[in-house]
Amino acid sequence: MKYNFDEIVDRRHTNAMNTDGFRGYIFHDFEGKKKFPFKDEEFIRMWVADMEFAMCPHIIDAIKERLDKRILGYSQVFEQEFYDAYNKWSKKMYDWTYERKDFCFSLGIIPALYKLTEFILTDHEYAIVNTPAYGYFKHPLTYNGKQAVFNRLVKDKKGVWQIDFEALEKAAAHPMAKLLIWCNPHNPTGRVWTEEELKKVAAIVEKHNLWIISDEIHCDLLRQGKRHIPMAKIMPDYDKLIVCTSASKCFNMAGLMFAEILIRDETLKEWYIAYTNSYAMNVNPLAIAAHQAAYEKGGEWLDQMKTYLDGNFAFVKETLDRELPETHFVIPDATYLAWVDLSAYLADVEDIPEFFANKAGVLLEGGDALFVDNAQGYIRLNLAMPRTLIAEGLKRIVKAIKERT
């Protein structure tokens, strides 16, 4: 089947965060009082990390089939078929499988991070976070009253983000360091860490007896020809490893609220299950059906979508190089998110999202306020959308920058 990624899907009146929640999320305007020179429907929305692509038809069919059962009661993942589908996918994509006993589930990776950081860290212990970072790597620490140490990624001469291993080693050696919150592929830079890099990180973690939470939700959103290596494959016998995955990101079904949380340590797993059994162990039955269908039947859709995304990234790179040559942008190894350095043009702009919302009618995210640290002058553009929308968004971005320079 040939899938149509040029189709523009109307998301209005679906209670979507993408269309209706941007004021509160980006601008902290929860009462909706903020005024813009653009109507809501006139914005090009390149901000929140969900797609403008219609969901894989096989997943929609699976949801409809589950609905035909006519009862949506309290649900957990009881049947072996789900685990078989997950591991068949994992074996095919990364040559790795997980034991059923290690599986826990969550309404998402973010809820799991809130609870896991509470369980793992005492009030005086801290987590290491590589920055720039997805904001919700820091928010659970702040919420739980825990400490964070930022290890800044650095760029090489080609503009590719690298790990500062010397700084990471120093942070890990601190007597109060207990946890590394890891991200592969990395959000927002889009790096897929190499086997050599992963082994260096693993050696530091094991040397200092740290916990490591590896968020791998973007692992299937790779450029064609790239390959993801699970941290579990690098650290096959390390009990303090927790892996977080979900098909929700790459198959555009974040609203179904479902993630696999793989915990090896028996004590931590017992604590986690005791909490979730009393509060959130039950998951959306439609999410179970949807994820299993993604793993069983979503391969061709995903492959075509990745090829379309590669074209989107090439288009953005060509446009920025031509129109804004002082921009620094390297096509990332993974994700559908472009991490773009505009500091040459907007160094004096304190609030970049505010600037583009008002001057260009483009909703986007960027800067330290949303990406923790080491992100000044950067914007993150969601490119998981029809190319015509990207073209219009870039046109507006370019115009807004040129008019102020």
Whether the link from the prior residue into 175 is cis, omega within 30° of 0, is: no
Residue 161 is assigned to a structural domain of this protein: yes
pLDDT tens digits, 133-171? 999 999 999 999 999 999 999 999 999 999 999 999 999
* Same domain for 180 and 283: yes
- At 106 the three-state DSSP class reads strand
* Same domain for 356 and 285: no
Can you count the helices (H) and strands (E) in the chain?
A: 16, 14
- At 104 the three-state DSSP class reads strand
Last residue of a domain, one of 244, 265, 296: 296
**Domain of residue 50, CATH code:** 3.90.1150.10
* Same domain for 156 and 253: yes
Residue 88 is assigned to a structural domain of this protein: yes
Instruction: Say if residues 189 and 132 touch (Cβ distance below 8 Å).
Output: yes
pLDDT tens digits, 315-345? 999 999 999 999 999 999 999 999 999 999 9
Computed over every residue of the chain, the mean pLDDT equals 96
* Same domain for 359 and 243: no
pLDDT tens digits, 179-215? 999 999 999 999 999 999 999 999 999 999 999 999 9
pLDDT tens digits, 63-118? 999 999 999 999 999 999 999 999 999 999 999 999 999 999 999 999 999 999 99
pLDDT tens digits, 222-271? 999 999 999 999 999 999 999 999 999 999 999 999 999 999 999 999 99
In which residue are the tokens 């790239």 written? 226
Instruction: Say if residues 364 and 46 touch (Cβ distance below 8 Å).
Output: yes
Instruction: Say if residues 51 and 384 touch (Cβ distance below 8 Å).
Output: yes
Last residue of a domain, one of 296, 314, 346: 296
- pLDDT of amino acid 278: 54
Last residue of a domain, one of 296, 311, 341: 296
The answer to whether residue 293 scores a pLDDT higher than 70 is: yes
Q: Which ranges constitute the DSSP H helices of 54-128?
A: 57-67, 80-94, 109-120
* Same domain for 340 and 292: no
Look up the domain containing 318 and give its range. Answer: 17-56+298-403
The answer to whether residue 279 scores a pLDDT higher than 80 is: no
Compute the distance between CA of residue 351 and CA of residue 250 in angstroms, rounded to an integer: 30
In which residue are the tokens 């941007």 written? 22
The answer to whether residue 11 scores a pLDDT higher than 70 is: yes
* Same domain for 234 and 142: yes
* 276 vs 297, higher pLDDT: 297
Closest CA to 259 of 232, 299, 219, 298: 219
The kind and range of the H/E element at 314 are: helix 299-323
Beta-bridge partner residues of 382: 337
- At 211 the three-state DSSP class reads strand
* Same domain for 265 and 126: yes
Compute the distance between CA of residue 360 and CA of residue 60 in angstroms, rounded to an integer: 35
CA distances from 223 to 50, 192, 195 (A): 17, 10, 17
Residue 117 is assigned to a structural domain of this protein: yes
pLDDT tens digits, 348-395? 999 999 999 999 999 999 999 899 999 999 999 999 999 999 999 999
* Same domain for 253 and 355: no
> 322-356 b/e with 16+ CB inside 10 Å = b?
eebeebbbbebbbbbbbbbbbbebbeebeebbebb
* Same domain for 179 and 277: yes
- pLDDT of amino acid 281: 61
- At 170 the three-state DSSP class reads helix
* Same domain for 207 and 328: no
* Same domain for 292 and 303: no
- pLDDT of amino acid 277: 66
- pLDDT of amino acid 405: 73
